Structure 1
Amino acid sequence: MQTDSSFTFVLFGGTGDLSMRKILPALYEAHRAGMLEASGKIIAVARHEEDRGGYLQWVNEHVKAHVSKNGIDENAWSSFLERIEYVKLDLGKAEDFVKLRDAMQDLPGTRVFYLATGPSLFVPICRALASVGLNENARIVLEKPLGYDLRSSNAINDAVGEIFAEGQIYRIDHYLGKEPVQNLLALRFGNALFEPLWRREWVESIQITIAEELGVEARGDFYDNTGALRDMVQNHLLQLLSIVAMEPPHSMDSDSVRDEKLRVLRALKPIDPRDIGKVAVRGQYHAGVIRGASVPAYATEPGVKTDSATETFVALKVEIENWRWAGVPFFLRTGKRLADRVAEIVVNFRAVPHSALGSSALRPGANRLVIRLQPNETIRLYCLAKKPGEGMNLSSVHLDLAFDQFFKEGQMEAYQRLLLDVIHGRLALFVRRDEQEAAWKWVEPILNEWAASGKPKPYAAGTWGPAAASAMLAQHDTCWLEEEN
């Protein structure tokens, strides 16, 4: 299906890892599916001394491996490459931005500037674009992390906001583009079955986990100055929490959705620094074994200080102080070098108040909803049923919604959906500035307390993190999902 939205997509950091692994593959998939206006152009920008032919050769070598399991359609790939131009640009040279402006002068439609660069370059790029008049009829996409703390985040937002209006700024969080997250909204607000149960009277607890098997890879310098709380909790996990806990918006327009998310973030119970030891666990991986292979300790990774106190694991107990969720614990967890790669939301419903069918109907977790975001995107509802045979013996069964099996249409990757939303001017799945500020305000007391305290708790690579994370849940008579299984 062709759109009527002409565009020029300018990709800063056009030779970088993010561009090769995510952005260009997503644009190719949209092109192959006929979802991009035929006249739309892509201009890659980088410092490399390349002409267009050299850049296209680079794309051929580095992008094809990251295209979806459907593989490459050579005809579609060839026509996709015809969209791409390349501009060598030095951020310190004003004349290079004049060159970029001239390259865009006769191109129609909306201008999209995607900043797949470090956050230190956001403000210089925006100012340089404005200096040559490229901030008009334009949208700017900012990758995380947006700052190091509330102060630095505000400084970037203030500077970018002087050049682009809030409605032009797209702060991207790719977890919000994942299909199950979108389906969570559909399940909650499109079905009478779930919405009456989605509250403190019927929900015992909620877990949100983003676990990685990988370590810091080649990002040691960056990660050692960031840590898991900034890298994952302040954005991804709190955004998922706000989607899970938000009130029904009056419509699905961008500000209605984001207003409700903001209310959740502002309702997060502030963490008293004196209680951080009870509700927050930080860890750092030591050497261990993952899938039969030995992996090194975090402190020996390239770019990491040998005496580093940076956390690679975080587990938190979070409370929301509003009518719907008062008293319901939300457990958030993320970490590197864990036992498995998984991202999921687990909604544990309360047990029935009385059972004539035996104690199994009263156990926690008998009814739960598991929303798997990765690696396979599924939604699974657990309930109890009678086992075949004599007697009333109950067993856990589940109903599955596996998107790749149920829907004949191919799934859209998160970046593909979000890039199309930018091109079409849809802001609902992007983070508004006041959301970001609320998240930083909540996280900062934890950051400050950890900066003043000792080192993180050790955990062996290939495990599920420090034992303290399990002990925190045990205080609430529950456990992480994989521990129950």
Structure 2
Amino acid sequence: MKDLSGNAPVTSTSSRRGEAGASPRPDDHVIVLFGATGDLAARKLLPGLFHLAAVGLLPDRYRVIGSSRRDISDAEFRERAREAIDRFGTSKPTGETWQAFRQTLSFASASPGDTTALGAAIRRAERDVGGSPRRLFHLAVPPAAFAPTVTMLGAAGLAHGSRVVIEKPFGTDLRSARELNRTVGAVFDESQVFRIDHFLGKESVENILAFRFANGLFEPVWNHRHISYVQIDVPETLSIEGRAGFYDQTGAYRDMIVTHLLQVLGFLAMEPPTALDARHLRAETAKVFDALRPIDVRHVVRGQYSGYRDEPGVAPASQTETMAAVRVEIDNWRWAGVPFFLRSGKKLGASRQVVTLGFHEPPLRMFPIGETDTPDGRNEIVIDFADPGSITVDLLAKVPGAQMRLGGAGMVFRYADSFCAANSLEGYERLLLEAMLGDQSLFTQAAAVERLWEISSPLLENPPPIQPYAPGSWGPQPSVDQLIMPFRWRLPHAGSPRD
């Protein structure tokens, strides 16, 4: 199967995990998007589904039903979809491909007290598809609506045999995560539940597995004997973008670190799985989470950018952090004594998604060090997992000249330079495909979610005071730099191929 440009086939995650032949296609489906008139549907879900259709990775027969509490016509929903795909999509809504996709779209309102229209729309879509199509529900709704929507599906008799994709954050603390898991578990079996984290759908995050386990050069040094620190740094230049109602109740730690960065940590730190399937991958990341020590609030910096309290909808005396930096430790043999530093926040100095693994310095310095491109002349592996992604190995080499003087050098792999970009799928696109295929490898388990909230409890129950920082900076100084001493943050001190 080729993409529209005639390039080589798009390869799905499942086929890369060992299936031979062409990319697998899902069974026939009826896909229901709750929150279909919202921002996530416009930016990611509708463009993602259309791109999957354009590259031939949707089922042979399918229907897409948009749903929300407000009622709009099928025609209006189709026009909204066209505008969203045109603005945010990789594939543009033109030609026969768009006309075919457009005909699959319909809309039905639903609320916990009234699912009549939705039920009728699903039955009609299933008749149109024919046979016994699968159902996939995607809950692109506010977190407060997760439980009522799941309960509504159960009460309406729509859960049996269906799959459900639930957005983050899955709970706001251990108690709420457990309650939500109980609610979901009363309606759906765990095998039907897909807790989505779009970071795990990124090609460059998955490439961490290939980089580690497919190359004998790196796996032997991926441990405390060789690595002295790890950073997972995801700063953003954006403000809260009008999401005060959500963000002021959530903050940077809940919004990014516990839901995204700790999941990436699981991929970085896991032991080699015996197979790249859901059971083995999730078992190994669960072991990492079990070995995480509870967050020590002495090793946390919470910042709030100046002017945050002036944002519309933010409480005048808000104590919500817009930046969080945390040191975490994994209490196992591979990572004993290695600090992991996680940082994310709004209105910081750059928008980046970078993992840095710093190696121990050689015990004997026989070379004079000149000006280098790496912090303190250190050897580092730098994984930039912002699409399209890159991997850099920083090292020291002799500077040309009469004297023995060292300078920084790097070996660089760039996705954009190495593979056909048309073959790539954006994170949501890959995860939508995996959910239709029933592959839970890149989705989080109930127990893992609860464990991450459990190790977060000391911070959530007794957070350190927030500290102000200037928009465009890298967080409160000197606190954020003191947190990582005797090391230093790669950003902004050293660049990467994307700078």
TM-score relative to the length of structure 2: 0.89
2:341 match: secondary structure: strand
1:157-236 correspondence to structure 2 within 5 Å: 157-236=181-260
Which whole-Å CA distance do the structure 2 matches of 1:307 and 1:371 have between them?
38
Asked whether 1:282 is paired with 2:302, we answer: yes
Instruction: State the 1:365 CA deviation.
Output: 5.0
Q: Which amino acid aligns with 1:45?
A: S
Q: 1:370 aligns with which of 370, 382, 397?
A: 382
Pairing of 1:307-346 with structure 2 (within 5 A): 307-346=317-356
What are structure 1's unaligned runs of at least 5 residues?
287-296
Could you tell me how far apart the structure 1 residues matched to 2:494 and 2:29 are? 50
* Contact residue 218 and residue 302 of structure 1 kept, 8 A: yes
* Contact 1:284–1:458 (CA under 8 A) maintained in structure 2: yes
Q: Deviations over 1:116-146 (max 9, x none)?
A: 0012222222222223322122100000111
How far the C-alpha of 1:364 sits from its partner, in A, is: 4.7
| Separation of aligned partners in 2, 1:434 and 1:49 | 37
Residue 89 of structure 1 and its aligned partner are, at CA, apart by 2.3
Question: 2:146 is matched with which residue: 118, 122, 138?
Answer: 122
Change (3 A) 1:127 1:96: farther
State the one-letter code of the partner of 1:51.
S
Within 2, Cα distance between the matches of 1:346 and 1:329?
12
Q: What CA distance in whole angstroms lies between the structure 2 residues aligned with 1:159 and 1:482?
A: 44
Partner Cα separation in structure 2 for residue 101 and residue 82 of structure 1: 15
Q: Which residue of 2 aligns with 1:79?
A: 100
Q: 1:472 aligns with which of 483, 490, 496?
A: 483
Work out the number of aligned pairs and report it: 466
Change beyond 3 A, Cα 1:123–1:192 = same
Conserved in 2, the CA contact under 8 Å of 1:349 and 1:365? no
Letter in 2 for 1:251: A
CA distance in 1, matches of 2:287, 2:435: 24
Give the 3-state SS of the residue equivalent to 2:119 in structure 1. helix
What is the CA distance between 1:311 and its match in structure 2? 0.5
1:258 corresponds, among 282, 287, 290, to: 282
1:138–1:264: structure 2 CA closer, same or farther, 3 Å change rule?
same
Quote how far apart the aligned CAs of 1:325 are.
0.5
Deviates more, 1:371-380 or 1:201-210: 371-380
Return the letter of the residue paired with 1:428: S
The reply on whether 1:298 has 2:302 as its aligned counterpart is: no
Q: Distance in 1 between matches of 2:112 and 2:39?
A: 19
Q: 2:413 aligns to what SS in structure 1?
A: strand
TM-score (norm 1): 0.92
Asked if the contact 1:205/1:328 (under 8 Å) is kept, the reply is yes
Match of 1:291 in 2: none
TM alignment of 1:58-77, pairs within 5 A: 58-68=80-90, 71-77=92-98
Q: Are 1:393 and 2:405 matched, yes or no?
A: yes
Moved more, 53-62 or 70-79: 70-79
Residue 109 of structure 1 and its aligned partner are, at CA, apart by 2.0
SS in 2 for 1:462: coil
Is 1:52 the equivalent of 2:71? no
Quick check: 2:399–2:407 contact (8 Å CA) kept in 1? yes
Shift of 1:409: 4.6
Q: Distance in 2 between matches of 1:178 and 1:97?
A: 32
In structure 2, the gaps of 5 or more residues are 2-23
| 8 A Cα contact 2:231 2:340, kept in partner | yes
C-alpha contact (below 8 Å) 1:12/1:45 kept by paired residues: yes
Instruction: Rate the CA distance shift 1:216–1:479 in 2: closer, same or farther, 3 A.
Output: closer
2:33 to 1, 5, 11: 11
